[in-house]
Structure 1
C-alpha cells in the first residue's frame, strides 16, 4: 500500500512540476504582452478543456509533458489580425528569451525551495568530499570481460587476484605500486593504471602483473606482492584485483531556518554539478538501458523516465525515506531545467538560441549597412528539429520500456 502511495505521490509531483514549468512560460508571456492561446498538460487526445479569456486550458491523455501555445512564437505560425499586436516574434529579443527561460527558472526555484524545506525539516547530507576507507570488506573474483547480466554471462569463479595475493578481509591499503593511499579511489587508480600499462605492453587479458603493496593488518604493516589481473572494461585494457569496500554512512547536517539558506545553496550547487555531469554522460548510458530490457542488471546510474522515477518514489516511501523522496523530486526539477537548456529545437534552449542568433546576425548586418534580417524561418530548421525530436522520442520510449520490464531497484 505504501509503495502505491509513493508512486501516486511522485507521479503527482511530476505533474505539478510540468504544470508549473509551463505556467512559467505562460505568466512570463502575459507579462511581456504576448497572447497565450493554449495551456495544456499532456499530449495526444484532449481529455478536458475550458476557455477563459483568450486562453484554452486543458488536460490531454498522455501525461508525459505539456505545452504553452503562444501566438506568433515563430514566423511560420498562422495568426489572426486581432493577435498581431501580441505576437511573440514582434517583441524585443530579451522578452522572447525571458519567456523561453521562464519554465527553466521555475524548475530551478522549485528545486531550491524543496531542498530548503528538506534542510529545515530533516537536515541535508553533507557535501564534504571525504575519501572512502580503503579497507577490504569482501574479496571477489574478477571477470576478464564485462558480462551482459544474462544467464549466458560467463562471469567468474574461484578466488580473485587480491585473495591470491594474500589480502585478507579487514586489511587497509596503505600503498599500492608506490602510491600513498588516502582512500579507496587511490587503490582503484593505481590498480587500473598498472593493468592499463600491462595491456599496452602486450600482457594478455586474464594474466596478472605484480605490483608492490602495503596493508595494515591488526596494527601491523604487511608488505604484499599484489597480483593485478589485466581485464577489459569499456573495450579497453585495465586492471582489477577483486576487492570490495563498505561505503561509510551518509553524514547528515542539521540546519535552522537561517543556516538552511547557506546549506541549501551549497547542496544545490553540488546537485547542479551532478545533474550537468549526468546529462553529459547520458548518451553513453543508453546502450546499458537497452541491455537491461533483455535481462541485464539495471545500473544505479541508469536514466529513468517519469515511469521509472515514480517507481523509485514508491520504493522510497515504502522504506519511509521521505527525505530522499523529496530530494529525488528536487533532482528531477534540476534535470528538467538543465535538459531544457540544451540548444536544440524543440527544447526551450533551442528556441532561445534562435533568438540569440537573430541578434548576432542583425548586428553583423548593421555593420555591413544592411537592414535586420527578420525572424528566422523555422521551416529551414525542420530537418534539425525532426532529428532532435526523433532522438528524444527513441531515447524516451526505450527508457520507458526498461522502466516497465526491468525497473531500477533502489533497495536489495
Structure 2
C-alpha cells in the first residue's frame, strides 16, 4: 500500500475517532433526557447536513474536531420554551457529569477495542521487556546498500570493534544523549556520518566512554512518499540483540491483556501531557530550522503523515497502536479541568455540588447552575491559546516533520 492511501486511511481513523467522541456525548445526553440541537463532525463551512427530529446532523469542511450542541449546556445558553424542560442545566449533576464524560469514555473504549484487535491479530508489546541497546555482534560496515537485503562487501573489524565495543555491551548513551533501545542508538548514529561519537557503554557493572569513528555509508531510507531512496547516513558496525518485546494472545487472554496495556498507554500518555508545555519551545525552534525531538507533540497532520509511513511499510500493528494512542491522548487531554475542555465543565458542575451542599448545611437554598459570564474570558483565552499552539505544531509537522522509519 502506498503512502498516500495509508495517510488517507489514518485520516479516516482520526475522523471516526472524533465522530465517536462526539457520539459519546450525544448518546448519554439523549439517554439523560437532554435535547441535542446539532451533531457535526469538523468545523468551518457545512458540506452536508440533514434534520432528524430535533437534531441537525452534518459534516463540515475542516476535519479537525467536531461538536455536539446540547440545549442549555451552560447558563448562558438561550432556550426556547420548548427546549427548557430538556436543557442540560435542568438535569441532575450526575447526568450532566455523565454526559460530559461520555466522549472521554468513548475514546478509552475505542483505544481498548483497537488494542484487543492488535492483541488477537499480532500480539502486543511487552512493557516489561528489556529493550536496552545490548550489542549482539560487531562487524565491518558495508559502504553501499543495493536493495532491502543486499549490501556491498566489506572487510576488517569495523569502527565499533576497533574502538573497543564488545558483544554483550549495553550502549547507554551517544554523545551524552541517553538511549533506551538499539533503535535510538541507530537513529543517533545515522545523524553523525564522518564524525566521532562518544558511546557510554555499560560492561560488567562498569561504565566506559568509547570514542568511535562513524563511517559515512549509503543506505536506502523511505522518503515522504514511502519510496526507498539512497541516503548518506552514519554507521559503526554493531548489531543489537532482538528482545522478545511482543507477546501473542488468544481471543480470551487478549481481553485482560488489552486492558492492562491500555493502563500502560494511559500512564505514558499522562507523562507526555505533563511534559507538553515544556516541549512547545522546542517545537517553535524546529519551525525555524532547529532539530525536532522525535517525542515532541504532533498535530493531526503529523500523525496522518506517520500513519501513511506505517501503512506504506505494512506496519499495521504500529498503525493501529498509534490510533489507540491518539484516542487515549484525546481522553486524557479532555479530562484536564480547564474550560472549554470537558474536564473544565465537569469541574464547574462539581463546584456547584460542593457549594450547594455547604449552603444546605448552613440552612440556605441551593443557587443552581454557575453563571458562566465571569468564566467566558477564561474560555476565550484558553481556546485562543489552544488554536495558536495547534497552528504552531501543524506548521512544524509540515516544515520539520517527525519520521518513525
Q: What's the TM-score, normalizing by structure 2?
A: 0.77
Cα distance in 2 for partners of 1:38, 1:224 equals 62
- Secondary structure of residue in 2 paired with 1:281: helix
Cα distance in 1 for partners of 2:296, 2:382 equals 21
Cα distance in 2 for partners of 1:96, 1:214 equals 55
Task: Tell me what 1:73 maps to.
Answer: 73
Paired residues of 1:10 and 1:310 also in contact (CA < 8 A):
yes
Cα distance in 2 for partners of 1:292, 1:16 equals 30
Cα distance in 2 for partners of 1:214, 1:302 equals 28
Change (3 A) 1:254 1:373: same
Q: C-alpha offsets along residues 222-273 of structure 1, whole Å, 9 cap, x if unaligned? A: x898699xxxxxxxxxxxxxxx995755621111101111211221111111
- Confirm or deny that 1:310 pairs with 2:304: yes
Paired residues of 2:131 and 2:245 also in contact (CA < 8 A):
no
Cα distance in 1 for partners of 2:258, 2:65 equals 28
Give the 5 Å matches for 1:234-249: 246=240, 248-249=242-243
Of 390, 394, 397, the residue aligned with 1:400 is 394
- Confirm or deny that 1:273 pairs with 2:252: no
Aligned residues: 340
Q: C-alpha offsets along residues 311-330 of structure 1, whole Å, 9 cap, x if unaligned? A: 01000011110000011001
Cα distance in 2 for partners of 1:187, 1:286 equals 24
Task: Tell me what 2:123 maps to.
Answer: 123
Task: Tell me what 2:381 maps to.
Answer: 387
Task: Tell me what 2:93 maps to.
Answer: 93
- 61-70 or 257-266, larger mean C-alpha shift: 257-266
Change (3 A) 1:184 1:371: farther
- Secondary structure of residue in 2 paired with 1:282: helix
Task: Tell me what 1:170 maps to.
Answer: 166
Cα distance in 1 for partners of 2:293, 2:202 equals 33
Q: Offset at 1:297?
A: 2.6
Task: Tell me what 2:279 maps to.
Answer: 285
Task: Tell me what 1:301 maps to.
Answer: 295
Paired residues of 2:129 and 2:244 also in contact (CA < 8 A):
no
Task: Tell me what 2:152 maps to.
Answer: none
Cα distance in 2 for partners of 1:224, 1:267 equals 33
Cα distance in 1 for partners of 2:404, 2:207 equals 37
Paired residues of 2:124 and 2:246 also in contact (CA < 8 A):
yes
Give the 5 Å matches for 1:214-363: 215=203, 246=240, 248-249=242-243, 251-363=245-357
Task: Tell me what 2:114 maps to.
Answer: 114
Q: C-alpha offsets along residues 2-51 of structure 1, whole Å, 9 cap, x if unaligned? A: 10011000000000000011011111101000000000111112221111
Paired residues of 1:42 and 1:65 also in contact (CA < 8 A):
yes
Q: Offset at 1:410?
A: 1.0
After TM superposition, what 4+ stretches of structure 1 lie above 3 angstroms from structure 2? Answer: 133-138, 183-189, 213-216, 223-228, 244-250
5+ residue gaps in structure 2? 139-158, 179-200, 212-237
CA RMSD of aligned residues (A): 3.2
Cα distance in 2 for partners of 1:356, 1:224 equals 53
Change (3 A) 1:284 1:136: farther
Q: Offset at 1:130?
A: 2.0
Cα distance in 1 for partners of 2:313, 2:369 equals 53
Paired residues of 2:129 and 2:245 also in contact (CA < 8 A):
no
Cα distance in 2 for partners of 1:398, 1:384 equals 21
Change (3 A) 1:390 1:136: farther
